[in-house]
Amino acid sequence: MNLTKELEIQKAEIRGYAEGYNLDFYETIFEMVEFDELNEVASYGGFPTRYPHWRFGMEYEELSKGYSYGLQKIYELVINNDPCYAYLMKCNNLVDQKLVMAHVYGHSDFFKNNLWFSHTNRKMIDQMANHGTRIRRFVEKYGEETVEDFIEVCLSLENLIDPHLPHIKRKAENSKVNGKQTEDSENISPLRLKSPKAYLDSFINPEEFLEEQKQLSKERKLEKRKRNPEEPQRDILQFLLEYAPLERWQSDILSIIRDEAYYFSPQGQTKIMNEGWATYWHSTIMTRKCLTDAELIDYADHHSGTLMTGSGRLNPYKLGVELFRDIEDRWNKGKFGKEYEECEDWQVKANWNKNLGLGLAKIFEVRKLYNDLMFIDAFLTQEFCRENNLFVYEFNDRTDYYEISDRDFQVVKQKLLFSLTNFGQPAIYVEDANYFNRGELYLKQRHEGVDLKMQEARDTLANLFKVWTRPVHLETVVDEVKTLMTFDGLEHSEIEIDQ
Amino acid sequence: MVKKIDKDHARFRQIVRGKVKKNLRKYITQGELIGKQGKELVSIPVPQIRLPHFRYSSKKAGGVGQGKGDVGTPIGRGDGGEIPGVGDAPGQHILEVDVSLEELAEMLAEELELPNIEAKGKKNITSDKNKYTGISQVGPESLRHFKRTYKQALKRQLISATYNPLDPIIIPVREDRRYRSWKVTSKPESNAVIIYMMDVSGSMGDEQKEIVRIESFWIDTWLNYQYKNIETRYIIHDAIAREVDKETFYHTRESGGTIISSAYKAANKMIDEFYNPNEWNIYLFHFSDGDNWGEIDTDECVMLLKEKLLPKINLFCYGQVESPYGSGQFIRDLEDFLLDEENIVLSEIPDKDGIYDSIKEFLGKGR
């Protein structure tokens, strides 16, 4: 910690306000850095000790260029860790530093309390340093390019994880105890049709029928056991770790990439809420408590810059904070529940106020239990959509422009929810690791109406091949035609499949 | 202090360089870099450096935005540019990387195996230059360095414990003041001038001019890398020659006949007037479709080159651009008469793909 005396005083003050509002955060450590150091840390995703790779260099090039041309500036950088680390840019003026500190306490509270972060590693800074050391050791042993190339392959597959996995206890884990008997037991209970009366049973389920069913389910079970995986698996990285022919160092790298992907996953799942929450608290703390008269203009300028919605883009800070305020307002006034929903007089609805005062409690509850998808699903109302001018845009082939295509509430909500499901990533499962009985890997995209980017998909398949070392397939849909994309190590092919 | 990111950043630049070098032939022939040239930097679009993922095609996905406007209002262009949706998915535009012209010239040299130019063994001219390089404790008030002075005062007050963070008033005293100071350096300079000549007669079409434009861009890049101080002059000619500016040079189209000697005369006059061959490295580039008007004029051209121009200059390059109208006779005539001169290069450029080899021929001499 290297705060100056003034900032130390401000920090203590802001911390006091935050605690006064019942924010519950990890101990937060602020570091003062120059802009280029901040760019450096940001390029490493917040972890200065991360493993070496040129993609961070690429990130850095973009950030420094954006900064030096005055196009973008990083406001704040917080790391989900216990203690929580945050960076302050040295050249910012005092009011900016105060705003950022208040904002950071909001994030820190969110990290600590939101359910979706509950499985993340809170000692990630140490863990990342560890990863860095391991990868550096591999670089020394196997050569820079070899390791770099393999990291690239892994990174290209990094989104093939199951974002809900950390919250599910899979049978694989708890079947270790009792799973054995069920697998070994031969007495498979056959399918019996339900008989309305006991005496009818021998007619409805005659001996031959039962025998036949028994045979069938046995076969099915055998069939299933032959299949790998038994059920389609979403966590493809885990699957590759278990079954792909990798060397020790390779599987170590793949597992590192997987760990980091899971660590960053909740931040993608709660972008709107997290930024909204932090913005809510910095504006509350600043405007009600610690802003001096002289700082007002600078604060307003900076704050409105954060909430700007330029050129029709959706700003997660803006959307988040407006939704939190809307929720607070609705629960304060009792604008929820059956009675309110069913009221058809818009004037009554608009002036609805039961003075319940539940707003604050409600938003704390929301920040604990929800992620972006649920947040939008539960709280995006027609009124909100209209007031905030939300719209849906689509690409118009004829004009080569993205155009506003709809302002209907249902359509907007649908689209927004879709773009948040699995953070707008396609859902891809491993279906079969022994396709054609030739050890080929068969993936399937659960197609939800939007096609993949073909060229990238081909390149990604080629990377997948490098890990699996046998031909790889991806079942997807292209222009409403079911298509099987294949890469056999030499060339790509796409064939239509029927059914 | 060396930052950790520097290593990754250097590695990234190295990869970019590799990609650019690999695609150099494409960049050279397509000329797409010309529009992207700044004063010292060129931005080069580098495809396929982002890591591929399975992801949705954005054109089909669409998204949600916020703002005013009726249905049908356009909000962004579709060409490669992408609108980041919720969750700030990074835009997937093609990455543009800035490469300095110097670096580009180096790549060109490595790729085309160009030798460095040996400047003519003439006395170098030196020039004096003032540069603010240091800080001194005395100086005129107009050169006071405010920031350094402030820092000095702040340091002094911190050390002497007279600094109060709650009332941070800094008062510099005489000893705190710092002033800018300068040094005079003399720089050796070798001067060079490029004189471009182009046939703008009716038979030179747009495509031919485009070839000339691309080729001269690369010649400029290379010679700028070799000489610190370079001047460029442009002459166009059909039946008569005149000097023009760069813009006109590439865009004029006339319809007269072709008398090449007029251009050579103009160039000769220009050299005599402005560029003393003892002080200047002179480069002549002439582009034409080779359809000179009459043998008498060709003879005169040969005579002009042999007696007037070639003795004065470093290099004469003649690039013959193929055109459907020209006979292309001129290059053969030059070949016949001037084969034994050593500072002349003749090159035929059949189409855009020919640019690459032609540059190699022109600049491969190291003169």
Domain co-membership, B274 together with B165: no
Domain co-membership, B200 together with B239: yes
Please report where in the chains the tokens 């009332």 appear, as a residue: B167
What does the alpha-carbon distance between residue A148 and residue B205 come to, in Å, rounded to a whole number?
49
Give the end of a domain, one of A288, A304, A320. A304
The CATH number of the domain holding residue B218 is: 3.40.50.410
Give contacts of B60 with chain A, Cβ < 8 Å: 395, 450-451
Q: What angle do CA B198, B204, B208 make, to 5 degrees?
A: 85
Please report where in the chains the tokens 């980041």 appear, as a residue: B84
Domain co-membership, B205 together with B353: yes
Per-residue pLDDT tens over the stretch A81-123: 999 999 998 888 889 999 999 999 999 999 999 999 998 999 9
Domain co-membership, A316 together with A394: yes
> What Å distances lie between residue B329 and A327, B237, B310, B359, CA to CA?
84, 18, 21, 21
Mutate: best of B66, B77, B151, partner A, most A CBs <10 A: B66
**b vs e for A310-325, b when ≥16 Cβ sit within 10 Å of the residue's Cβ?**
eebbbbbbbbbbbbbb
SS3 A160: coil
The reply to whether residue A393 touches residue B75, judged by beta carbons under 8 angstroms, is yes
Domain co-membership, A105 together with A10: yes
Residue at B56 is within a domain: no
**Secondary structure, 3-state, A13-24:** HHHHHHHHCCCC
Residue at A387 is within a domain: yes
The reply to whether residue A54 touches residue B15, judged by beta carbons under 8 angstroms, is yes
Domain co-membership, B182 together with B211: no
Q: What is the DSSP letter of A129?
A: H
- Alpha-carbon gap: A461 to the closest alpha carbon of chain B (Å): 9
- Alpha-carbon gap: B58 to the closest alpha carbon of chain A (Å): 8
SS3 A89: strand
Do the Cβ atoms of B237 and B266 come closer than 8 Å? yes
Do the Cβ atoms of B53 and A457 come closer than 8 Å? no
Residue at B289 is within a domain: yes
What does the alpha-carbon distance between residue A101 and residue A87 come to, in Å, rounded to a whole number?
9
Residue at A138 is within a domain: no
Residue at B67 is within a domain: no
Strands B63-66 and A390-396: antiparallel
SS3 A42: helix
SS3 B67: coil
The reply to whether residue B88 touches residue A43, judged by beta carbons under 8 angstroms, is no
The reply to whether residue A312 touches residue B56, judged by beta carbons under 8 angstroms, is no
SS3 A306: helix
pLDDT at B94: 56
Q: What angle do CA A298, A301, A303 make, to 5 degrees?
A: 105
Do the Cβ atoms of A256 and A131 come closer than 8 Å? yes
Residue at B152 is within a domain: yes
Domain co-membership, B261 together with B170: no
Domain range for residue B151?
Answer: 126-186
Residue at B274 is within a domain: yes
Domain co-membership, A284 together with A315: no
Q: What stretch of H or E contains B235?
A: strand B229-237
Please report where in the chains the tokens 């406001």 appear, as a residue: A75
SS3 A149: helix
* Bridge partners, residue B197, by sequence: B235, B286
Domain co-membership, B226 together with B306: yes
Does a cis peptide bond (omega within 30 degrees of 0) precede residue A229?
A: yes
Domain co-membership, A300 together with A314: no
Q: From the centroid of its chain, how far is CA B254?
A: 27
Give the end of a domain, one of A420, A449, A484. A420
Number of domains observed in the structure of chain B: 3
Residue at A145 is within a domain: no
- Alpha-carbon gap: B113 to the closest alpha carbon of chain A (Å): 27
The reply to whether residue B5 touches residue A402, judged by beta carbons under 8 angstroms, is no
- Comparing alpha-carbon positions, the chain B residue that sits nearest to A455 is B52
Domain co-membership, A26 together with A85: yes
Would you call A309 exposed, middle or buried from its count of C-beta atoms within 10 A (0-12, 13-18, 19+)?
A: middle
- Comparing alpha-carbon positions, the chain B residue that sits nearest to A318 is B66
Domain co-membership, A414 together with A472: no
Note which residues in 251-310 of chain B have CB less than 8 A from chain A: none
Taking the Cβ of residue B67 and every Cβ of chain A, the question of whether any pair is shorter than 8 Å is answered with: yes
**Nearest 5°: phi and psi at B47?**
-80, 160
Which of B341, B256, B255, B327 lies closest to B298, judged by CA?
A: B327
Give the end of a domain, one of A420, A453, A475. A420
Domain co-membership, A411 together with A465: no
pLDDT at A224: 65
Residue at A244 is within a domain: no
Residue at A222 is within a domain: no
Do the Cβ atoms of B6 and B13 come closer than 8 Å? no
Beta-strand runs (E) in A382-497: 390-396, 401-406, 427-435, 440-446, 472-478, 481-487, 492-496
Give contacts of A423 with chain B, Cβ < 8 Å: 87, 89
Domain co-membership, A277 together with A348: no
SS3 A183: helix
Does a cis peptide bond (omega within 30 degrees of 0) precede residue A83?
A: yes
Domain co-membership, B173 together with B205: no
- Comparing alpha-carbon positions, the chain A residue that sits nearest to B85 is A314
**Within 10 A of A53 (CB to CB), how many other CB atoms are there?**
19
Residue at B66 is within a domain: no
* Bridge partners, residue A481, by sequence: A478
Per-residue pLDDT tens over the stretch B68-91: 777 877 777 654 434 433 333 333
What does the alpha-carbon distance between residue B259 and residue B257 come to, in Å, rounded to a whole number?
7
> What Å distances lie between residue B262 and B195, B203, B236, B300, B359, CA to CA?
14, 17, 10, 10, 25
Domain co-membership, B200 together with B175: no
Q: What is the DSSP letter of B51?
A: P
DSSP B292-323: -S-HHHHHHHHHIIIIIITTT-SEEEEEEE--
- Alpha-carbon gap: A26 to the closest alpha carbon of chain B (Å): 25
- Alpha-carbon gap: B238 to the closest alpha carbon of chain A (Å): 43
Domain co-membership, B309 together with B335: yes
Number of domains observed in the structure of chain A: 3
Domain range for residue A73?
Answer: 5-114+270-304
Do the Cβ atoms of A290 and A98 come closer than 8 Å? yes
- Which value, to the nearest 10 degrees, does the dihedral of the CA atoms of residues A452, A458, A461, A465 take? 170
Domain co-membership, B343 together with B221: yes
Give contacts of A400 with chain B, Cβ < 8 Å: 77-79
> What Å distances lie between residue A328 and A277, A337, A383, B92, B333, CA to CA?
12, 15, 15, 37, 89
Domain co-membership, A375 together with A440: no
Domain co-membership, B252 together with B294: yes
Token digits for A414?
Answer: 């649908």
SS3 A383: helix
Give contacts of B56 with chain A, Cβ < 8 Å: 424-426, 450-453
pLDDT at A177: 43
Q: From the centroid of its chain, how far is CA A318?
A: 19
Give the neighbor-by-neighbor strand order of the sheet with B241-244. B241-244, B229-237, B191-199, B280-288, B315-321, B344-349
Given phi > 0 = left and psi -120 to 50 = alpha, else beta, which region is A446?
A: beta
What does the alpha-carbon distance between residue A439 and residue A441 come to, in Å, rounded to a whole number?
7
Domain co-membership, A462 together with A416: no
Residue at A174 is within a domain: no
* Bridge partners, residue B41, by sequence: B100
Domain co-membership, A315 together with A335: yes
Give the end of a domain, one of B167, B186, B205. B186
Nearest to B11 among A54, A313, A316 (CB): A54
Domain co-membership, B278 together with B177: no
Count of A–B CB contacts within 8 Å?
Answer: 225
Taking the Cβ of residue A160 and every Cβ of chain B, the question of whether any pair is shorter than 8 Å is answered with: yes
Note which residues in 90-129 of chain B have CB less than 8 A from chain A: 95, 97-98
Do the Cβ atoms of B359 and B219 come closer than 8 Å? yes
Which of A365, A390, A368 lies closest to A380, judged by CA?
A: A390
Token digits for B24?
Answer: 């150099």
The reply to whether residue A61 touches residue B9, judged by beta carbons under 8 angstroms, is yes
Does a cis peptide bond (omega within 30 degrees of 0) precede residue A245?
A: no
What does the alpha-carbon distance between residue A365 and residue A277 come to, in Å, rounded to a whole number?
12
- ipTM over cut 0.85: no
**b vs e for A370-400, b when ≥16 Cβ sit within 10 Å of the residue's Cβ?**
bbbbbbbeebbbeebbeebebbbbbbeeeee
pLDDT in tens, chain B (367 residues): 568 888 898 888 888 888 777 777 777 776 666 666 666 677 776 655 778 888 887 666 677 888 777 787 777 765 443 443 333 333 344 566 777 777 777 887 777 777 777 666 555 556 677 888 889 999 899 999 999 999 999 999 989 988 887 788 888 999 999 999 988 877 666 678 889 998 887 777 778 888 888 888 888 888 888 777 788 899 988 888 888 888 888 777 777 778 888 888 899 999 888 888 877 888 889 988 887 777 788 888 888 888 888 888 888 888 888 877 666 788 888 888 777 777 888 888 888 888 888 888 888 777 6
Nearest to B88 among A57, A316, A396 (CB): A316
What does the alpha-carbon distance between residue B202 and residue B197 come to, in Å, rounded to a whole number?
16
Rounded mean pLDDT of chain A? 86
Residue at B276 is within a domain: yes
What does the alpha-carbon distance between residue B184 and residue B128 come to, in Å, rounded to a whole number?
7
pLDDT at B47: 57
Residue at A129 is within a domain: no
SS3 A231: coil
**Secondary structure, 3-state, A450-473:** CCECHHHHHHHHHHHHHHHCCCEE
- Alpha-carbon gap: A288 to the closest alpha carbon of chain B (Å): 22
- Alpha-carbon gap: A418 to the closest alpha carbon of chain B (Å): 9
Domain co-membership, A380 together with A415: yes
User: Helices (DSSP H) in chain B: which residue ranges?
Assistant: 4-22, 24-30, 58-61, 101-112, 146-159, 206-226, 246-251, 260-274, 295-303, 329-338, 354-363
* Ranges of chain A whose pLDDT falls below 70: 1, 169-191, 223-226, 310-312, 423, 499
Taking the Cβ of residue A115 and every Cβ of chain B, the question of whether any pair is shorter than 8 Å is answered with: no
